[in-house]
Structure 1
Amino acid sequence: MKLPCFHLCSSLLVASLVIQLITAMASGGGGSSGATSSMVAALKKYNAMFTFGDSMDETGNICAASSNKTELDVLTCTHPPYGETYFGRPACRWCDGRVVVDFIAQALGLPFVPPSKAKGKDFRRGVSMAITGGTAMNFSFYKSLGIEDPVWNHGSLDTQIQWFKELMPSICGTEQSCKVYLRKSLFMFGGYGGNDYNVQLLELGLTPLQAMNYTPKIVTAIANGVEKLIALGAVHVVVPGIFPTGCLPIFLSLFGDAASETDFDGTGCLKPYNRLTEYHNSLLRKQVDALRRKHYNSTRIMYADYYGLVYQMIQEPEKFGFSKPFEACCGAGGGKYNFDVTARCGMEGATTTCCDPSTRMSWDGIHPTEEVNKVIAGALLRGPYCTPPILG
């Protein structure tokens, strides 16, 4: 069932007020109203935030892990116009500005989470293990499917959890003290799965129907990862689903021409690819429900419905202040989707952007704009697309 737009608008307004409160407090301002008091109480709920995932949540690990300038130059997110909206320069984020976890950190009164690979950083108030190309499955799984070399990197879900375990002594000390500290920390876990399907669809050439054969394994890996975090002491864990793949300019550009008219839904998305995403998310919801039942008295596991939110934004873009939901803001592809895999945003000759990125949904044909990330963060903080909401 499609939720009325005003619910989301209310959530975003509340999240915006929280961020304004943080700014006022930082500058010495304050307030005495009951609403302000309740927001302050909500902010005290979390003392740190720890994030895991892929390029959607990347805050610098792929850049910190690159050993030389040549490797960095390959990463288009290190070139203008990435970062122009908020940072004024590329900030190793696949976006024109902030990603979802940046907005959530600001709303909680926390610093932006530094990448775990950064040197000399204080990770006690948060750290990001998310890295571009992160997958739910380990490389051994893809090797069994015929992939001889890592497609992007070795930053699988298990690897990221290992990175976190290695940092725990510097974050919270002993195992027992960590159990206490992590009780008041927020864990953003994913959304894993997007790159697992990208490997299958784009590298192995599988159809969406064939890729569904591996969905149970992918979802089980995510659930097992949540279990591992809980064993370490995590209590508050957000587990996101994945975006509607069939609505992304990259997939529309690569597969739209060969698709039949019946392959498109009423909004212009590719139904076979969205069915794959829906299947993944439905299995993930069931796993999250099972985890809640198993750990009902000791954890707060939140499911973030990225699919439902983004699809509603595509259906009714004007209600959210957007236009041209299928056209990438940055790139040199031209045409209906403005996406060309050989002329992606940040590549030579592909640095022109749309006039106002805040009115667009897709930044580079693969990743959302800062404005979309802001809407998503607002919906996660207060609902209705996160159950229960982060600040609920």
Structure 2
Amino acid sequence: MEFLIIFFHCLLLTTGYLCVQGSSHHRHQHHFHDSRQVYGFRPTKLFVFGDSYADTGNIRKSFADSWKEPYGSTFPGKPAGRFSDGRILTDYLAKFLGLKSPVTYTWMNLGKQKWLNGMNFAYGGSGVFNTFGDLLPNMSTQIDFFEKLMNDSVYTKWDLQSSAVLVSLTGNDYGTYLANGGAFQGLASFISKVINQLEVNLKRVRRLGARKIVVTSLPPLGCLPRSTETSSFKKCNITENIAVSYHNLLLQQAVAKLNNKTGNSTISIVDLFRSFTTVIEQKQDYLGNLKFETPLKPCCIGKSDGYFCGSVDDKGAKMYTLCHDPKSVFFWDSSHPTEAGWQAMFTTLKPSFDRILKYQ
């Protein structure tokens, strides 16, 4: 009970922070190309570290459903390693910056021409700690990959200084913690450890030369279909979201501390919590163009326990059901938004990106 009281207290604090962040939504209505003219920011590349919310094809084909049908059915028209029916956060951010989506580290052998837009080191399922033993590179290892490329002169410090960096951390460490028998009573302490390691990683990326880093807050994990299924996809899990708010509060404090040490705002938070909840509560995007009648219900659902989107039985029969139109659904599978879902959220995020992705 004491643990929940602490979380409820933090929820109030964090909600206040989210309201402050949200108010900028109305103050900053610039389109990116306008802000680029005003501030003179022309990013040369985008570098990406993190998990499935940012992975555009790093994870091995033998290891993930993201390489199976019906993933990728909207874009590029076939499975391509994205955990969605189409484009995800990385794609929308790259487009926002006037860049093509950066090539994934796994596929960098496609040629030097593909390296010009930066590189994506994110692996679906990863975290700041090991989430699947040594099978997935955690964030520290992903940064190792990048640092080796710098040592090999594939990229220079100037490349990083003149580019944007996306760091996506959306909850896999916590899923692993609980799956391995971690007690809920010890979750607050573990959240602190996750944030401390994330802080180490952010320091390291900045030390390599990054001047503009955006790191995701946790989305409302209690609103993901894997958590709302027990309520027939009608109610978010409040307890989970309280824990999420505690993570986001500590993240806010860590980022403020890092920026205070350098005297500038090198690191900014991409408020996924607010963008998720805004779209889910309003059942549409900010412009009212995309509508989601049942926002908590996913498009692709496993037919029974143990089966997930993309699963087939021994005879190859599909063990999942698929909605008629992914464009009318916010969530794609048990954890990830559809392309339309990401597009809707990006309409709420654009003002923040206009404000933070500029050189001062």
TM-score scaled by length of structure 1? 0.75
Cα 1:74/1:162, change in 2 over 3 Å: closer
Is contact 1:114-1:128 (8 Å) kept? Answer: yes
Superposed displacement of residue 179, structure 1: 2.8
Q: Is 1:332 the equivalent of 2:298? A: no
Q: Which runs of 5+ in 2 are unaligned?
A: 1-15, 313-317
Counterpart CA distance in 1 for 2:111 and 2:40 is: 23
Q: Secondary structure at the match of 1:366?
A: coil
Determine the structure 2 residue equivalent to 1:108.
97
Counterpart CA distance in 1 for 2:227 and 2:174 is: 12
Cα 1:75/1:40, change in 2 over 3 Å: same
What pairs up with 1:225-374 in 2 under 5 angstroms? 225-253=201-229, 268-297=235-264, 300-318=266-284, 321-333=291-303, 340-348=304-312, 349-350=318-319, 352-374=321-343
Letter in structure 2 aligned against 1:90: P
Cα 1:13/1:276, change in 2 over 3 Å: same
Superposed displacement of residue 90, structure 1: 0.8
Cα 1:3/1:303, change in 2 over 3 Å: closer
Determine the structure 2 residue equivalent to 1:191.
169
Superposed displacement of residue 226, structure 1: 0.6
Determine the structure 2 residue equivalent to 1:26.
none
Q: Secondary structure at the match of 1:346?
A: coil
Cα 1:211/1:256, change in 2 over 3 Å: farther
Letter in structure 2 aligned against 1:312: T
Q: In the TM superposition, what whole-angstrom CA distance separates every residue of 1:82-105 from its partner, at most 9, and x where no partner exists?
A: 111121111110001001111111
Counterpart CA distance in 1 for 2:332 and 2:322 is: 9
Is contact 2:85-2:339 (8 Å) kept? Answer: yes
Q: Secondary structure at the match of 1:274?
A: helix
Aligned counterpart for 2:117 among listed residues 119, 125, 132: 125
Counterpart CA distance in 1 for 2:214 and 2:301 is: 32
Counterpart CA distance in 2 for 1:390 and 1:359 is: 30
Superposed displacement of residue 246, structure 1: 0.8
Superposed displacement of residue 48, structure 1: 0.5
Is contact 1:113-1:126 (8 Å) kept? Answer: yes
Identity of aligned residues (%): 26
Is contact 1:241-1:303 (8 Å) kept? Answer: yes
Task: State the superposition RMSD in angstroms.
Answer: 3.0
Is contact 1:52-1:128 (8 Å) kept? Answer: yes
Letter in structure 2 aligned against 1:125: N
Superposed displacement of residue 358, structure 1: 1.7
Q: Secondary structure at the match of 2:119?
A: strand
Is contact 1:124-1:170 (8 Å) kept? Answer: no
Counterpart CA distance in 2 for 1:204 and 1:79 is: 27
Cα 1:4/1:59, change in 2 over 3 Å: closer
Counterpart CA distance in 2 for 1:183 and 1:310 is: 30
Superposed displacement of residue 185, structure 1: 0.7
How many residues of Structure 1 are paired with residues of Structure 2 in the alignment?
330
Cα 1:308/1:129, change in 2 over 3 Å: same
Is contact 1:82-1:346 (8 Å) kept? Answer: yes
Is contact 2:30-2:351 (8 Å) kept? Answer: no
Is contact 1:329-1:354 (8 Å) kept? Answer: yes
Cα 1:186/1:378, change in 2 over 3 Å: farther
Cα 1:214/1:14, change in 2 over 3 Å: same
Superposed displacement of residue 191, structure 1: 2.1
Cα 1:105/1:134, change in 2 over 3 Å: same
What pairs up with 1:64-103 in 2 under 5 angstroms? 72-103=61-92
Determine the structure 2 residue equivalent to 1:69.
none
Superposed displacement of residue 54, structure 1: 0.5
Aligned counterpart for 2:160 among listed residues 182, 203, 206: 182
Q: Secondary structure at the match of 1:238?
A: strand
Cα 1:376/1:166, change in 2 over 3 Å: farther
Is contact 2:268-2:356 (8 Å) kept? Answer: yes
Counterpart CA distance in 2 for 1:290 and 1:226 is: 12
Determine the structure 2 residue equivalent to 1:145.
none
Is contact 2:53-2:83 (8 Å) kept? Answer: yes
Is contact 1:151-1:199 (8 Å) kept? Answer: no
Cα 1:132/1:281, change in 2 over 3 Å: same
Determine the structure 2 residue equivalent to 1:158.
140
Counterpart CA distance in 2 for 1:104 and 1:346 is: 27
Q: In the TM superposition, what whole-angstrom CA distance separates every residue of 1:230-285 from its partner, at most 9, and x where no partner exists?
A: 110011000111111111111233x669xxxxxx9xx7211111111111110000
Is contact 2:94-2:100 (8 Å) kept? Answer: yes
